[in-house]
Amino acid sequence: MAAMETSPPPTEAPLAGDGAIRRPGLHGSWPEMTYAGVLSFMRRTYTRELAGADVVVSGVPLDIATTYRPGARLGPAAIRAASVQLAELKPFPWGFDPFETLAVVDAGDCWLDPHHPHTVPGAIRDHARRILASGARMLTFGGDHFITYPLLQAHAERLGQPLALIHFDAHCDTWPDDSPDALNHGTMFYKAVREGLIDPAHSVQIGIRTWNDDFMGLHVLDAPTVHARGADWTLRQVLAIVGDRPAYVTFDIDCLDPAHAPGTGTPVAGGLSSAQALHIVRGLVPLHLAGMDVVEVAPPYDHADITALAAAHVACDLLCVLAAQRRARG
């Protein structure tokens, strides 16, 4: 009887693709197809095991606090999807892989029950408390801007002191609201000042182009001022105002002009360009960044993902700021 031909054993698949679920550790990058695979932010490992993580990325898919157009609940997914091409090369202009320096994981999204709105602030606050208890810093994707309020509560509680706020936005979000149960994405920082979560004397709002009779003592660098004085001048003001205080960066994507970010709930003409905003973000290296979020991406109003791409760039640069700080320390 003739011997049967046998095929050689299959070779083991190379370590490439689906790094979000196949990477053996938290550091480093590996080859991915930009157009395929599991969509974590910049292909970071998906996990709720936070030991060893320096930064935890997560989403808060909330938009029931909006005053105009909903849709920001789809923001975290859109930012993750837009981030895939940023994971392909070393980020510009940094010239290094931030994930060689920082252990960054994607912990998925905060679980919310929108049918019981009264439970939402506590759910976000507890989500943040669990992450901060691990010793990691947070990079959070919204969702509408209300999410920053419970995030600030958790951060101020963890630090035991008020934070300096670095706030990119078209709106000041300090309109009066003395209702403890209201969910409103235009009143969070009124409450944050009143509750001592942020220190107005060391807080700055960038890109504002809506009016409020009382800005609650926060420094306002409105959009016309940024256009007239330039991004370098604006950055110098931010660094001087914040100083050495622990700072929380919140980037509402409607800080950008609708030409650069059409997919948002309350667009306002006359805003910053993506180039101006990224220049300022990239200059935050001297500061102590205790927490960060990027909010108000509403994909239904942007057919070409322009807004989500801008948000992904902002988020990537925030991580690079942290990586640059660590690299400088050796």
| Residue that has been written with the tokens 């990058």 in this structure | 29
- The band of 6, judged by pLDDT with boundaries at 50, 70 and 90, is low
252 a known binding residue? yes
- Mean per-residue pLDDT for 57-79? 97
What per-residue confidence (pLDDT) applies to 24? 83
* Residue 155 backbone phi and psi in degrees, to 5: -70, -45
Helix 306-329 and helix 274-282: axis angle, to 10°? 20
Per-residue pLDDT reduced to its tens digit, 138-181:
999 999 999 999 999 999 999 999 999 999 999 999 999 999 99
pLDDT at 15 over 70: no
181 a known binding residue? no
- The band of 5, judged by pLDDT with boundaries at 50, 70 and 90, is low
Per-residue pLDDT reduced to its tens digit, 247-297:
999 999 999 999 999 999 999 999 999 999 999 999 999 999 999 999 999
Residues in the chain: 330
How many C-beta neighbours within 10 Å does residue 220 have?
A: 16
CA-based torsion, 225, 201, 148, 63: positive or negative: negative
pLDDT at 11 over 80: no
126 a known binding residue? no
- Mean per-residue pLDDT for 54-78? 97
What per-residue confidence (pLDDT) applies to 13? 56
173 a known binding residue? yes
Listed in sequence order, the DSSP H helices in the chain are 19-22, 75-82, 98-101, 120-133, 148-159, 188-194, 223-229, 231-242, 274-282, 306-329
pTM: predicted TM-score of the whole model, two decimal places: 0.93
63 a known binding residue? no
pLDDT at 38 over 90: no
106 a known binding residue? no
Percent of the chain scoring above 70 in pLDDT: 95
Give the distance from CA 155 to its chain's centroid. 15
> Where are the chain's structural domains?
53-329
CATH number for the region 53-329 comes to 3.40.800.10
Question: How many whole angstroms separate alpha carbon 101 and alpha carbon 29?
Answer: 11
pLDDT at 197 over 90: yes
What per-residue confidence (pLDDT) applies to 18? 82
pLDDT at 3 over 60: no
Percent of the chain scoring above 90 in pLDDT: 86
- The band of 25, judged by pLDDT with boundaries at 50, 70 and 90, is confident
pLDDT at 4 over 90: no
Residue 117 CB-density burial (10 A; 0-12 exposed, 13-18 middle, 19+ buried):
middle
